[in-house]
Chains A and B, each alone.
Chain A
Amino acid sequence: MEPILEGLGLAFSLYNMALVIAGVLIGVLFGALPGLSSPLAIALLLPFTIMLEPVSAICMMAALYCAGTFGGSITAILINAPGAPPAVATAFDGYPMARRGEAGRALGLAAVSSVTGGLLSLVVFIVATPLLAKVAVSFRPPEYFALTVFALSMLASISGRSSLRNLIAGAVGVLISTVGTHLGTGIERFTFGFHELTEGVEFVPVLIGLFAVSEMLVQSQTADMALERIKSVVVKLPSREDIRRVAGTVLRSSGIGTFIGILPAEGSTVAAIIGYNEAKRWSRRKHEFGTGVPEGIAGPEAANNAATGGAMVPTLALGIPGSGTTALILAALIAHGFRPGPYLIQETPEFIYAIFGAMAVGNVAFLVIGLVGAKLFARITLIPRTFLWPMVFGFSVIGAYSLSGSFFDVWVMLVAGAVGFIMRRHGFGAAPLVMGLILGRMLEETLSQSMIMYDNDWLRLLESPIVCGFFAMAVLGLTWPAIAARMAARRSRDPE
């Protein structure tokens, strides 16, 4: 009971509440602006949060994560420009409803569905995280190695156009994590004589480069594109009839979103798309989807926000990110000197209760902020891009520099930005690379420790049933996209 009170006390302290509200505002703002996203916001904020207390920093980021997911829906509904990828499915029905003159109704449905999904997933988060951590305490290096392999295999099925490219990007991320001194022997690898690289590549400049600088280069090509002007909008809470109509969809999508969030590497975008598809599949009015039906908004919104609570479960209990954004939160934890995983939960149980409290407050806060300020946030899209992106670049430079007061990190950021731009152009995602980068060190360390345990006999890895289970799931994770594509092709051939 004591850790619960202590954790909630931390979350509800005036200082942390102020940070949580700031996180919500930044999240909704970054979510609403096309091109800006919650991972980008966290990447930019990360260097500055190093100066905060670890719990305060993580609470702020967790709240930002929830709010950023919802923020993207505002512009998706009002101007058909999803501010962030998880809001893409919301635009399918949200925008047609807004075009019919019911933008307020659409925003109200999105906000209430999001909050419901988010809060329901937090219940799962608070119950499942300590349980999973308790199981994971018994994991030895071989089990952790297998778990990391499984997490990386899931890159094959995360959102993005190509499983193959996601896997390559993930492997490149792991390769980058090998830069620096080899822990087992003290030999330097790929440092090219730069002493700044002997301890490895800093996460933060790479993250800022991949998310912020590469996006700036993409946006530079659309600087003169004008966005639709927002008409007057009064956000309305859903009517009783609407609530009755979408209640089942919201509950179902919350379950789907939470489950998908818990799966390593899967995130809100996958959850939202599945949430939309399931809402359609269960609906009696399938043919009306795409014309502005409430279920078409509630389904993806409940699912994408439920995925945020779900994604925090493996992130905190196992140290395995549940999504691209939680990979950044994991990087923040590491930057604060924590090693996320079961021992963190066992030694500082109040930590997860503080995050729970922050995310709960974040959800309620974005409901209020979303309802009151949707029109204002939508108007922010009118900020000229010619000023917006130089601002982002300015923050990127300051963020990368202030981490260690060195321009070397700014150069790392620029290189990462150029690489990210080229990667995006050719269909490689930034999120898989970040996952690989963050999990890489754990993968190599646990492999080395396992080999010491087993006298370099690889086959002995299979002595553990847990290892076998994770490897089997990894094989399934790798082959699932092909199986799913074949099943979808068969379904489309025989619709009956």
Chain B
Amino acid sequence: MWRSALGRVHRTDLALSLTILALVGAGFYLSTTFEEVSPLFADTIQPEFFPRLLLWTIGILALLLPFEHAFRSKRGDSGLDEDRRVAVQPIAYVTFAAALVLVAAAEWLGTYLTLVAICFALPLLWGERRRVPLTAFALGFPTAVMVLFTQAFQIYFQPGVFGLSLN
């Protein structure tokens, strides 16, 4: 009986469910660390009440996740795995890592140079090797955007350590 019950469990969704439950647990723990409420507000709904209600809801729904696949397969509908059939390609991780690095460097580089770096690094990462279009794009697009937003919308952008901005 146990074996048949386990056979119905979708392994990826089980891992997903456990991850959500762990996050729900962490959320619950955090809700115990909220400050004490003044006795003046003793009659109103307490600050931890609503988040906990939601955490309970999410937890209960997450418990159903591993069985959803089996339930839907019975109806001949198992499209849940469509988006995750193919493993995430390394380029997605690399792109996100590059985005993190570029944003981390943004305060130092300033907004304009960050945009230039984005427009140069991301196409390069994605396989663009034609030098002329790449250079034209990496310089032209950020310049056009910065001129537009600083002049038309009067937005102030950080110049960074090089003091380069079109403000």
Chain A residues in the interface with B (C-beta under 8 A) = 48, 51, 161-162, 164-165, 167-168, 171-172, 174-175, 178, 182, 184-185, 187-190, 213, 216-218, 220-221, 223-224, 384-387, 389-391, 393-395, 397-398, 401-402, 405, 407, 410-411, 414, 417-418, 421, 424-427, 444, 447-448, 451-452, 456, 485, 489
Measured between alpha carbons, how far is A407 from B48 in the docked complex, in Å? 30
CB-contacts of B1-50 with A (<8 A): 12-13, 16, 20, 27, 30-31, 34-35, 37-38, 41, 43-48, 50
* A184 proximity list for chain B (CB < 8 A): 41, 44-45, 47
Q: By the criterion CB–CB under 8 Å, are B80 and A162 in contact? A: yes
- Can you show 23 pairs from A to B with CB atoms below 8 A apart? A51-B154, A165-B65, A175-B27, A184-B44, A189-B48, A216-B95, A217-B92, A217-B95, A220-B92, A385-B126, A390-B119, A391-B119, A393-B122, A401-B111, A402-B149, A402-B157, A405-B155, A414-B96, A417-B96, A418-B96, A421-B92, A426-B13, A426-B16
Q: By the criterion CB–CB under 8 Å, are B54 and A174 in contact? A: yes
Query: Given A220-B92, A389-B122, A398-B115, do A168 and B20 touch, yes or no (CB 8 Å)?
Result: yes
Query: Given A168-B20, A213-B99, do A394 and B145 touch, yes or no (CB 8 Å)?
Result: yes
* B13 proximity list for chain A (CB < 8 A): 426
Measured between alpha carbons, how far is A51 from B151 in the docked complex, in Å? 13
Kindly report which residue of chain B lies nearest to residue A436, judged by CB atoms: B54
Partner of A168, one of B48, B62, B133, B145: B62
Q: By the criterion CB–CB under 8 Å, are A393 and B99 in contact? A: yes
Kindly report which residue of chain A lies nearest to residue B111, judged by CB atoms: A401
Shortest distance in angstroms between A228's beta carbon and chain B's nearest beta carbon? 20
Shortest distance in angstroms between A450's beta carbon and chain B's nearest beta carbon? 10
* B100 proximity list for chain A (CB < 8 A): 414
Q: Choose among A174, A182, A188, A384 the residue with the greatest number of B CB atoms under 10 Å from its CB.
A: A182
Chain B residues in the interface with A (C-beta under 8 A) = 12-13, 16, 20, 27, 30-31, 34-35, 37-38, 41, 43-48, 50-51, 54-55, 57-58, 61-62, 64-65, 68, 72, 75-77, 79-80, 82-84, 88-89, 91-92, 95-96, 99-100, 103, 106-107, 111, 114-115, 118-119, 122-123, 126-128, 133, 137, 141-142, 145, 149, 153-157
Shortest distance in angstroms between B74's beta carbon and chain A's nearest beta carbon? 9
Q: By the criterion CB–CB under 8 Å, are B80 and A427 in contact? A: yes
Query: Given A167-B61, A425-B83, do A220 and B37 touch, yes or no (CB 8 Å)?
Result: no
Measured between alpha carbons, how far is A185 from B107 in the docked complex, in Å? 36
Measured between alpha carbons, how far is A401 from B61 in the docked complex, in Å? 35
Q: By the criterion CB–CB under 8 Å, are B83 and A424 in contact? A: yes
Shortest distance in angstroms between B104's beta carbon and chain A's nearest beta carbon? 9
Q: By the criterion CB–CB under 8 Å, are B91 and A220 in contact? A: yes
Shortest distance in angstroms between A152's beta carbon and chain B's nearest beta carbon? 10
* B20 proximity list for chain A (CB < 8 A): 168
* A162 proximity list for chain B (CB < 8 A): 68, 72, 80
* A174 proximity list for chain B (CB < 8 A): 54
Query: Given A162-B68, A387-B123, A444-B50, do A221 and B88 touch, yes or no (CB 8 Å)?
Result: yes
Query: Given A394-B115, A407-B107, A425-B88, do A185 and B80 touch, yes or no (CB 8 Å)?
Result: no
Q: By the criterion CB–CB under 8 Å, are A178 and B92 in contact? A: no
* B54 proximity list for chain A (CB < 8 A): 171, 174-175, 178
Partner of A178, one of B50, B114, B128: B50
Q: By the criterion CB–CB under 8 Å, are B51 and A189 in contact? A: yes
Measured between alpha carbons, how far is A171 from B54 in the docked complex, in Å? 6
Measured between alpha carbons, how far is A386 from B95 in the docked complex, in Å? 12
* B47 proximity list for chain A (CB < 8 A): 182, 184-185, 187, 189
Measured between alpha carbons, how far is A111 from B95 in the docked complex, in Å? 37
Measured between alpha carbons, how far is A224 from B76 in the docked complex, in Å? 34
Partner of A386, one of B51, B75, B123: B123
* B118 proximity list for chain A (CB < 8 A): 390, 393-394, 397
* B107 proximity list for chain A (CB < 8 A): 407
Query: Given A162-B68, A185-B37, A221-B89, do A48 and B153 touch, yes or no (CB 8 Å)?
Result: yes
* B91 proximity list for chain A (CB < 8 A): 220-221, 223
Kindly report which residue of chain B lies nearest to residue A216, judged by CB atoms: B95
* B72 proximity list for chain A (CB < 8 A): 162
Shortest distance in angstroms between A62's beta carbon and chain B's nearest beta carbon? 21
Partner of B43, one of A161, A182, A456: A456
Measured between alpha carbons, how far is A48 from B79 in the docked complex, in Å? 38
Q: By the criterion CB–CB under 8 Å, are A171 and B92 in contact? A: no
* B57 proximity list for chain A (CB < 8 A): 171
By Cβ-Cβ distance, the 9 closest A-B pairs, closest first, are A182-B47, A390-B122, A386-B128, A223-B126, A220-B95, A187-B47, A386-B123, A221-B89, A386-B126
Kindly report which residue of chain A lies nearest to residue B106, judged by CB atoms: A407
Measured between alpha carbons, how far is A185 from B80 in the docked complex, in Å? 42
Q: By the criterion CB–CB under 8 Å, are B142 and A221 in contact? A: no
Query: Given A185-B38, A426-B16, do A394 and B119 touch, yes or no (CB 8 Å)?
Result: yes
